């Protein structure tokens, strides 16, 4: 006997080619809010689908004990009959049906004659809506309410099924702060009524707010379950990525060679208002094997610098000189910049960096199609082969290279962008916010790739808003403020204080 309402033991689940869960254990105490965290792809959703019968008994190994009884669910209805209700990451409501119809779908409120009793349906629905704090008419159609409210309808639906264990898979991912708050408070309110919840989230502030304990899953394995009192952000991140925070950045021993790129007096004006100087006489250089950072606050001119340098993609009033290995070059168009061996991976990979409706293969070859041409046509087999090599060497998580890049996670999209530029064989790579919006684990992989490129003798310029990141991976950093370079420090001397001082230095007026 145990006080736990749920025990999952030795759960293993494989998909063709992927071991999504291996020997996972999960214990949930009766009446608690239990958070499950882990990076994208860790196996959280799969575990919950095993629990709720989406993956029926027989398709996984291991045991599920619910309320001291071994359960072998055939499907969702089976688990719901026991009081387990899952609300999926993708909501499953019917947009053209009303709130009340959705709540009682497949569980219709019928009168004695066997017909649907609409008065009862709407009346019962109103009571449930009041319980979840949703002020909407039960006859309103789902498509007329926002996601936050739809989430509440899902919970109302769960309550109609006399839920004992409510599972919410990343419920706040699509919600604004206000709706998230409401939802989290509701979970706490349901807890007072004795309902146990499992909430999947990687938002640490949410976990701190609602969770009584947290189980961290990494690579399909349970790492540990932490009690509320022992939950710290450091511990969760460490569990999630398997590394200490001090080891967030891979080791890097620079072998710095000759100067590759030098930019002199680079100046760029605002495209619409040419009286505004956005980049002001910037002088900088990068040597072979060197990783150079550009730090600056929002609006300092970092992206404007990079874009104006890369084929004059920013503004038209641009002046200054660029030297590659001591010889002056022109970078008046993107093609010209690429021909000279300069690559720029933009901060906005969704708009400029990738063609999201194209597959991985074409996105990788895009900047180097000339290399793949034979008799004026792109050599398909060769293109496929090259892309596949990058899929392996860059660890792009996709079953093959025909997958559309729009379907990939942020980290994997970034690896495609980097593959594209690496394949173009540049001498200098400018990376603008290379890790924005991606998982901690994937960040580490990106840093390792940057190190590898530097070790091959390329010159790397990294632009980042995260100062710790720049100080973690660069050999030397420049500070940019109001379009001007206000200082340059070797990383050993670049304390956050020193950098911030330079980054906030104003123009003498």
Ligand X SMILES: Nc1ncnc2c1ncn2[C@@H]1O[C@H](COP(=O)(O)OP(=O)(O)O)[C@@H](O)[C@H]1O
Closer by beta carbon to Mg ion, 45 or else 308:
45
The DSSP output letter for 118 is H
Query: In the bound complex, what is the minimum distance in angstroms from residue 89's beta carbon to Mg ion?
Result: 5
d(CA 408, CA 360): 9
Cα atoms in the 13 Å half-sphere on the side-chain side of 431: 35
Phi, psi of 304 (to 5 degrees): -60, -40
DSSP calls for 10-47: EEEEEETTEEEEEEEEEEEETT-EEEEE--TTSSHHHH
- 4 vs 81, 226, 227, CA distance in Å? 19, 15, 14
Query: In the bound complex, what is the minimum distance in angstroms from residue 45's beta carbon to Mg ion?
Result: 3
Q: Does 450 bind ligand X (CB under 6 A)?
A: no
* From Mg ion, ligand X, none, interface partner of 409 (C-beta below 5 to 8 A by class): none
d(CA 484, CA 282): 6
Write the burial class of residue 332 (CB in 10 Å: 0-12 exposed, 13-18 middle, 19+ buried).
Answer: exposed
Query: In the bound complex, what is the minimum distance in angstroms from residue 130's beta carbon to ligand X?
Result: 32
Query: Are 22 and 220 in contact, with CB atoms under 8 Å apart?
Result: yes
* From ligand X, Mg ion, none, interface partner of 366 (C-beta below 5 to 8 A by class): none
Q: What part of residues 32-61 is at the interface with ligand X (CB under 6 A)?
A: 38, 40-46
Map residue 232 onto helix, strand or coil: coil
Question: Which of 15, 232, 258, 316 forms a contact with ligand X (CB under 6 A)?
Answer: 15
Closer by beta carbon to ligand X, 46 or else 285:
46
The alpha carbon of 85 is separated from its chain's Cα centroid by a whole number of angstroms, namely 27
Query: In the bound complex, what is the minimum distance in angstroms from residue 36's beta carbon to ligand X?
Result: 8
Closer by beta carbon to ligand X, 45 or else 303:
45
Closer by beta carbon to Mg ion, 45 or else 413:
45
Total interface residues for ligand X by CB under 6 A: 11
Query: In the bound complex, what is the minimum distance in angstroms from residue 387's beta carbon to ligand X?
Result: 19
* From ligand X, Mg ion, none, interface partner of 292 (C-beta below 5 to 8 A by class): none
Query: In the bound complex, what is the minimum distance in angstroms from residue 90's beta carbon to Mg ion?
Result: 10
* From ligand X, Mg ion, none, interface partner of 349 (C-beta below 5 to 8 A by class): none
d(CA 241, CA 2): 31
Helices (H), 197-311: 204-210, 233-241, 302-309
Q: Does 96 bind ligand X (CB under 6 A)?
A: no
Query: In the bound complex, what is the minimum distance in angstroms from residue 247's beta carbon to ligand X?
Result: 23
Closer by beta carbon to ligand X, 365 or else 412:
412
d(CA 477, CA 471): 8
Closer by beta carbon to ligand X, 38 or else 296:
38
Q: What is the dihedral of CA 170, 173, 176, 180, to 10 degrees?
A: 10
Query: In the bound complex, what is the minimum distance in angstroms from residue 28's beta carbon to ligand X?
Result: 17
Closer by beta carbon to ligand X, 204 or else 329:
204
* From ligand X, Mg ion, none, interface partner of 42 (C-beta below 5 to 8 A by class): ligand X
d(CA 90, CA 225): 26
Closer by beta carbon to ligand X, 43 or else 301:
43
d(CA 239, CA 224): 8
Q: Which helix (H) or strand (E) holds 422?
A: helix 410-423
Query: In the bound complex, what is the minimum distance in angstroms from residue 86's beta carbon to ligand X?
Result: 12
Question: Which of 7, 18, 118, 161 forms a contact with ligand X (CB under 6 A)?
Answer: 18
Question: Which of 45, 52, 180, 451 forms a contact with Mg ion (CB under 5 A)?
Answer: 45
Q: Which residues bind ligand X (CB under 6 A)?
A: 15, 18, 20, 38, 40-46
Q: Which residues bind Mg ion (CB under 5 A)?
A: 45
């Amino acid at each position: 006997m145990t006080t736990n309402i749920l025990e999952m033991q030795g759960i293993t689940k494989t998909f063709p080619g992927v071991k999504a869960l291996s020997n996972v254990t999960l214990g949930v105490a009766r009446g608690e809010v239990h958070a499950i965290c882990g990076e994208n792809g860790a196996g959280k959703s799969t575990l919950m689908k095993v629990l709720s019968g989406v993956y029926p008994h027989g398709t996984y190994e291991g045991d599920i004990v619910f309320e001291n009884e071994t359960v072998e669910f055939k499907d969702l209805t089976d688990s719901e009959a026991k009081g387990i209700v899952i609300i999926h990451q993708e909501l499953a409501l019917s947009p053209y049906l009303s709130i009340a119809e959705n709540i009682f779908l497949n569980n219709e409120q019928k009168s004695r004659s066997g017909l649907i009793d609409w008065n009862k349906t709407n009346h019962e629905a109103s009571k449930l809506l009041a319980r979840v704090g949703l002020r909407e008419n039960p006859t309103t159609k789902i498509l007329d309410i926002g996601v936050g409210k739809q989430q509440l309808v899902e919970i109302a639906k769960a309550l109609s099924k006399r839920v004992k264990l409510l599972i919410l898979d990343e419920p706040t991912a699509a919600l604004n702060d206000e709706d998230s708050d409401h939802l989290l408070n509701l979970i706490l309110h349901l807890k007072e009524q004795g309902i146990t919840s499992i909430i999947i989230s990687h938002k640490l502030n949410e976990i701190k707010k609602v969770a009584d304990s947290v189980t961290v899953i990494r690579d399909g394995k349970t790492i540990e379950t932490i009690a509320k009192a022992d939950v710290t952000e450091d511990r969760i991140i460490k569990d999630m990525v398997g590394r200490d925070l001090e080891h967030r950045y891979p080791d890097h021993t620079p072998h710095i060679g000759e100067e590759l790129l030098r930019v002199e007096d680079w100046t760029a004006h605002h495209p619409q208002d040419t009286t505004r100087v956005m980049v002001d006489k910037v002088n900088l250089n990068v040597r072979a094997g060197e990783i150079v950072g550009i730090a600056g606050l929002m609006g300092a001119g970092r992206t404007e610098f990079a874009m104006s340098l890369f084929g004059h993609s920013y503004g038209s009033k641009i002046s200054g000189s660029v030297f590659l290995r001591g010889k002056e070059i022109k970078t008046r168009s993107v093609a010209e910049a690429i021909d000279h061996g300069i690559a720029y991976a933009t901060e906005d990979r969704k708009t400029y960096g990738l063609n999201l409706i194209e597959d991985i293969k074409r996105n990788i070859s895009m900047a180097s199609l000339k290399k793949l041409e034979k008799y004026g046509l792109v050599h398909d087999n060769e293109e496929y082969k090259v892309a596949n090599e990058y899929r392996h060497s860059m660890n792009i998580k996709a079953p093959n290279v025909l997958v559309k890049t729009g379907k990939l996670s942020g980290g994997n999209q970034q690896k495609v962008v980097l593959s594209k530029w690496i394949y173009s064989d540049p001498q200098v790579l400018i990376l603008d916010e290379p890790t924005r919006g991606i998982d901690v684990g994937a960040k580490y992989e990106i840093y390792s790739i940057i190190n590898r490129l530097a070790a091959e003798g390329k010159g790397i310029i990294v632009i980042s808003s995260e100062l710790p990141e720049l100080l973690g991976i660069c050999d030397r950093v420049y500070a940019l403020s109001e379009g001007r370079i206000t200082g340059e420090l070797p990383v050993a001397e670049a304390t956050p204080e020193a950098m911030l001082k330079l980054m906030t230095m104003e123009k003498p007026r």
